[in-house]
Amino acid sequence: MAGTGAAGGIDGNGSVATFSSPVGVAVDSTGTIYVTDLHRVRRIAFSGGNATVPSNYTVSTLAGADAAGFVDASGSTTRFSTPLGITVDEDGNLYVADYGNRRIRMVLQDTRTTTIAGTGLNGRTDGAGNVATFRTPYGIAALPDRGRGVSLVVSDELDRVLRQISLKGGGDAAPGSAASWIVQTLAGQYGAAGTADGPGNIASFNASRLLGANESGNVYVPDFASWKLRLVTPNQGFFPIDSTPGGLLMDSVRLSNADGWVPFAGGANRPFITYPAIGRGATSEPQIWSFSVPDTVTAFQFSVLVSAQTEAFTPPEGIDSDISGGTGSVRTNVRTLTGSTAGTDGFVDGIGSNSRFRSVIGMGFDAAGTAYVADADNNAIRRVTADGRVSTVAGSSGSSGFATGRGNFALMAYPTDVAVVEGEYLTASADWYAAGGVFLLVTDLDNNRVRIVRGPHSGWNAEDSWEPWNPNFYDVYVAAGDGTDGYANGGGHVAQFAAPSSIAMGPGGISYVLERTGGNRVRTLRWKGGDPTDSVSWQVGLLAGSTTGEPGYTNANGANARFDDPRGIAVGPDGTVYVADTYNHCIRKITPDGDVTTLAGTDSPGYVDAVGASARFSCPWDIAVGPDGYIYVADRYNYRIRRVSPGGTVTTVAGTGSSTRTDATGNASGHYDDLGIGINPSGDLYIAEAECIRAIERIIDVGNRG
């Protein structure tokens, strides 16, 4: 039908097409054939005539390329790493066991590719698709839709088990999101070879590879090295089977209908169930909790932690009364949200402690509490949900450079901060606003530019899906800066910056850009109208600091003021600009007219909680302001998180001075490499500590046990 016998990747009619390493094969309802070949998915279509003549078939590449990698994208921009098994559902969607990436991928007919299960880590974790892990996914088979949506069976070769992947919500969940899928162990003994038949928790395999399934939903397993063809059927009914006793291999009792997983450092991530928001004095509707219970378990117990976002920003008064002895408050709780507290860096999208960063610094929040963070050394912008799920929305595989385009192709060079722009200020079209989309302004430090990231991308319309975790749904442009290290005001296309390192948006849509060493000044950035993705639509000016970049410590107006390598900037609700003047060891205050004064601290390092000039900081690295005007400071070399009232009173919110990443209440927590700080809509603080992100929550009240 196709192939010459010579190795290669040539598309064309079957008599000239070549393959490198074809393994898996699937056929859809129209007779079109799909083959996994090295790092690609190929399509073979019959064009008519004599079916035994190769030239009557056309071979094309549906997704992937010759190079191995991991990219969820479209067509040849997608990357696989040795895809093996492949199957097709009743709607023509393809599912691929991406062996080298340890993931299960879905390929649509329009060539868009999405990961539906697996984090890329080597493991055997069951759970939601964005949490589950695989070791060696080899074969895959789609089962008939029995009114419960798509379900798949995957063979994990070296773990010697079969895994079931099915859609949540009885098959009604959105298939484009990994969080919509649930992975469960179906049969086999993890890591133990054997040929035993029987229930799933007793049966064993030697090495299950490619799989098949018939119209009745029975699964056929060629068991390599056992010389057997094995048949797997449910005890009753049809696949997918529920997470109930009898047939599932479960390590322990598990919550089977979790909405997600909350990361906890030093322990297992914990499942959660979401209850809808309610008003004061109201009672929420009951929710069903379903548990997967192994046959041998007759009783079990569990504990529940209740956590809620408040209906409004919670004022900080309760913290002050508990501060004493140079430590933080017992009324705050510090926990690691995502990343490694051990200092292990990397570039991994995942959840909680499975995620990896290299140097996460500045961040901004949208109205829903989702954080967008600048991962500087990975040259990427990462999206972090409130439950610690991390995805990359811009930056091409961590490579440094300069390029505009879709998020998975755009290049940045050491991005350091992100400001989320309110939709009403930059709405480019009704379709964009209807999507609940986002505009991000990013300080691209080594490119000496301010970038603008738009999601969904240009050309998106309201009838399309919107996948906020997918970089292929974002576009990256330049808002301001021509790339020259210098100083020039004017339109965004001619403006120049010197090491723009932090950005904040003030009332009315004006943004402020802070330049660190080389610039030592604060610039203004205004959208003039028109297309916000075009730098001509932006205007750059000077608020305060030297036009030559001269450092110093001078309170004055505009260009007469001096700063020394400032790193953080924030804007209060009244439009006052605050700067963490890092190597002047103080917090500066700037009026909208450019008058600079010192709010707290002086140009001498130290650690003192006091008022105004009597307070001391040691390299305050970043700063955030809540809607009540209170200022929060990442005091890097005091290893503490500080708070400054609008009147200049400095207190310690969290930290003991210990340079460790210790999760605890604020009076016992440890902090290290506090490079960034942000505040979400409910008033919880997020701290960027290079390889991890930590949350500081206010303990408002402690309820009674029930």
Q: 696: closest CA among 650, 658, 664, 672?
A: 664
Average of pLDDT values for 479-490? 97
The Cα 563–Cα 523 span in angstroms is 13
CB 402 within 8 A of CB 418: no
Band the pLDDT of 436: cuts 50, 70, 90.
low
Residue 265 has pLDDT above 60, yes or no: no
Q: With left for phi above 0 and alpha for psi between -120 and 50, is residue 559 left, alpha or beta? A: alpha
The Cα 130–Cα 180 span in angstroms is 9
Q: Which of 318-332, 471-485, 605-619 has the lowest mean pLDDT?
A: 318-332
Query: What phi and psi values does residue 357 have, to the nearest 5 degrees?
Result: -125, 165
pLDDT at 706: 33
Average of pLDDT values for 547-561? 97
CA atoms within 13 A on the CB side of 85: 28
Structure tokens at 218: 């029975």
Residue 270 has pLDDT above 70, yes or no: no
pLDDT at 319: 47
In sequence order, the 6+-apart residues with CB closer than 8 A to the CB of 620 are 567, 568, 580, 581, 582, 585, 586, 587, 601, 633, 634, 635, 636, 642
The Cα 392–Cα 398 span in angstroms is 10
The Cα 644–Cα 667 span in angstroms is 18
Burial 68-106 (b: 16+ CB within 10 A, else e): eebbbbbeebbbbbebbbbbbbeeebbbbbbbbbbbbbb
User: DSSP code of 393?
Assistant: E
Band the pLDDT of 155: cuts 50, 70, 90.
very high
The Cα 244–Cα 201 span in angstroms is 12
- Greater pLDDT, 193 or 598: 598
The Cα 210–Cα 24 span in angstroms is 7
pTM of the model: 0.62
Burial 520-530 (b: 16+ CB within 10 A, else e): bbbbbbbbeee
Neighbours of 507 (CB within 10 A): 12
Structure tokens at 352: 């909680």
What's the sign of the alpha-carbon dihedral 520, 521, 522, 526?
A: negative
In sequence order, the 6+-apart residues with CB closer than 8 A to the CB of 49 are 56
Scan for tokens 């192709």, then name that residue.
409
Q: Is 324 helix (H, G, I), strand (E, B) or coil?
A: coil
Neighbours of 52 (CB within 10 A): 7
The Cα 389–Cα 59 span in angstroms is 39
The DSSP result for 583-643, as a single string, is GGTEEEEE-TT-BEEEEEE-SS---B--BGGG-B-S-EEEEEE-TTS-EEEEEGGGTEEEE
pLDDT at 244: 37
Residue 453, judged by CB atoms within 10 A of its CB (0-12, 13-18, 19+), counts as buried
In sequence order, the 6+-apart residues with CB closer than 8 A to the CB of 35 are 19, 22, 23, 24, 25, 41, 42, 43, 44, 86
Select, from the ranges 173-187, 315-329, 445-459, the one with the highest average predicted confidence (pLDDT): 445-459
The Cα 610–Cα 619 span in angstroms is 17
The Cα 565–Cα 62 span in angstroms is 51
Residue 559 has pLDDT above 90, yes or no: yes
pLDDT at 296: 60
- Greater pLDDT, 196 or 104: 104
Structure tokens at 241: 């089977």
pLDDT at 433: 45
pLDDT tens digits for range 618-665: 999 999 998 778 899 999 999 999 999 888 999 999 999 999 999 988
H or E segment to which residue 426 belongs: helix 423-426
Q: With left for phi above 0 and alpha for psi between -120 and 50, is residue 148 left, alpha or beta? A: alpha
CB 19 within 8 A of CB 42: yes
Band the pLDDT of 321: cuts 50, 70, 90.
very low
For residue 170, CA distances in Å to 147, 241, 250, 257, 473 come to 8, 11, 21, 11, 28
Q: Is 122 helix (H, G, I), strand (E, B) or coil?
A: strand
Structure tokens at 275: 């209850």
Residue 478, judged by CB atoms within 10 A of its CB (0-12, 13-18, 19+), counts as buried
Query: Residues of the chain with pLDDT > 90: what percent?
Result: 57
Triad 652, 267, 309: Cα angle to 5°: 50
pLDDT tens digits for range 1-56: 999 999 999 999 999 999 999 999 999 989 999 999 999 999 999 988 898 999 99
Pairing label, strands 360-365, 228-232: unpaired
Q: Is 535 helix (H, G, I), strand (E, B) or coil?
A: helix
Q: Which of 162-171, 405-414, 528-537 has the lowest mean pLDDT?
A: 162-171
In sequence order, the 6+-apart residues with CB closer than 8 A to the CB of 152 are 87, 95, 104, 140, 141, 142, 143, 164, 165, 166
pLDDT tens digits for range 213-250: 887 778 999 998 788 999 988 765 555 655 433 333 33
Domains, the chain, in order of start with CATH, read 12-232 (2.120.10.30), 333-697 (2.120.10.30)
Triad 412, 416, 421: Cα angle to 5°: 90
pLDDT at 58: 96
Scan for tokens 């965004």, then name that residue.
492
Beta bridge partners, 631, equal: 625, 644
pLDDT at 201: 80
Q: Is 77 helix (H, G, I), strand (E, B) or coil?
A: helix
Average of pLDDT values for 115-131? 90
